[in-house]
Amino acid sequence: MARDDTQPNPGMDEESFQTFLEQLDRWVRERLIPAETKTIELNRVPDDIRQEMIDMGLFGITTPEAYGGAGMKTSQYIETMKRISYAAPAYRSLLSINVGMVTTALVKGGTEEQRRTWLPRLVEGTIAAFALTEPGSGSDSAGLQTTAVRDGDDYVLNGTKRYITNAPFADMVIVMARTSKENLPKNGHVSAFLVPTDAPGVTIGKPDEKMGQSGAQIADVILEDARIPAANLLGGVEGRGFMVAMQSLDNGRLSIAACSTAYAQRALDSGLKYATERKAFGEPISGFQLIQAMLADSKAEIYASECMIKDATAKADTGARVSMEAACAKMFASEMCGRVVDRVVQIYGGAGYLKEYEAERFFRDARLYRIYEGTTQIQQLVIAKQMLREAGAL
């Protein structure tokens, strides 16, 4: 049976959580940021950093205490992702799929047996991926082509999933697949499956080369007559996959909002430092009003994004559904981050276009935030449709 979410998750006690954040901030600045160069060179999170993440309990922050985790509520989880995201995106990417989308799917949609089997493994550092997007479909569930056909005590899966974060080193993937040839109401043709990557018929493609976010790897997940036990049907019921995906995407979108906000702050801090050190016409360029305007606009937009995230996560902590709020926060924060990093490149001037300076990397890294977990245009549709439903027009 699925978990009963009628009672809000109380989360960690506030004093313990604040102590945790202080330790996390030190670790981000003393370990993650200095390791960015190595992470980019390796194109993956170094093994010692990954082990530290496990030892610190970061892979279990959202897992209920009954399964060995810290049991953070939504606002605490999102704040944690925000603090980690001040460093290079690869670190958050490795963690967030596990503690956000996959753990959420298991806690809210898994059977008790599935939770007992998989949640402790995730806490111990098992890497998971979440596979919805395909070559011919992303947010369009009606276009989903991966199939899962029941055959005795198994399901046989066929299809290809694309742009799947963590796929190159994932141990398990939650795969969305079609269990009905027809498109059913409320996307009832989509089911979710817990698929070990070492199962026969499962192949992980070569990691894709990307514009930015080095260290965070994506690849295809190819399913060719992959035979998966029926017990791995998430929740034990067909047709609930899309609902699970959407509930998980709310968390994913809030996480992207948080990391967009944190990375914008990282870029702004860099731009501010450069502006106070770089001189032109005999004085620091921070004294020029047009530079000050770019700094001020960036700070105001970061603050607005922080307020949106706090409001959305506070509502989520009560158990309320926050699909529209998450879409609003993700859309605003990701677009805001793009504007901030662009201003920072402008503040750096010609140096901002050179790989020697970090502004160039910030610019490339930030571009993806407007695309994954639903593009800005998809967020606009989510928001508008919710508005129209509330107005009785849909």
Instruction: Return the active site residues.
Output: 373
Interior/surface letters 118-138, b for 16+ CB within 10 angstroms, e for the rest: bbebbbebbbbbbbbbbeebb
As a whole number of Å, the CA-based R_g of the chain is 21
In one letter, which amino acid is 170?
A: A
Helix (H, G, I), strand (E, B) or coil at 103: helix
- CB contact at 8 A, 105 and 247: yes
Helix, coil or strand: residue 72:
coil
The two three-digit tokens of residue 15, written as one number:
């004093």
- If DSSP codes are grouped into helix, strand and coil, which group holds residue 220? strand
Q: Is 97 within 8 Å of 168 (Cβ atoms)?
A: no
Strands 172-178 and 128-131, by their bridges, are parallel
Distant-in-sequence, close-in-space partners of 33: CB < 8 Å, separation ≥ 6: 86, 87, 88
CA–CA separation, 219 vs 198, rounded Å? Answer: 16
Query: What backbone torsions phi and psi does residue 177 show, to the nearest 5 degrees?
Result: -140, 155
> Strand pairing partners for 192?
176
SS3 assignment for 225-266 = EEEEEHHHEHHHCCCCHHHHHHHHHHHHHHHHHHHHHHHHHH
User: What are the residue ranges of helices labelled H in 110-240?
Assistant: 112-123
At 126, list the tokens: 């098992």
Cβ burial, residue 289 (10 Å; 0-12/13-18/19+): exposed
CB-based contact 234:174 (threshold 8 Å): yes
Q: What is the three-class DSSP state of 307?
A: helix
**Among 86, 83, 67, which residue's Cα sits nearest to residue 75?**
83
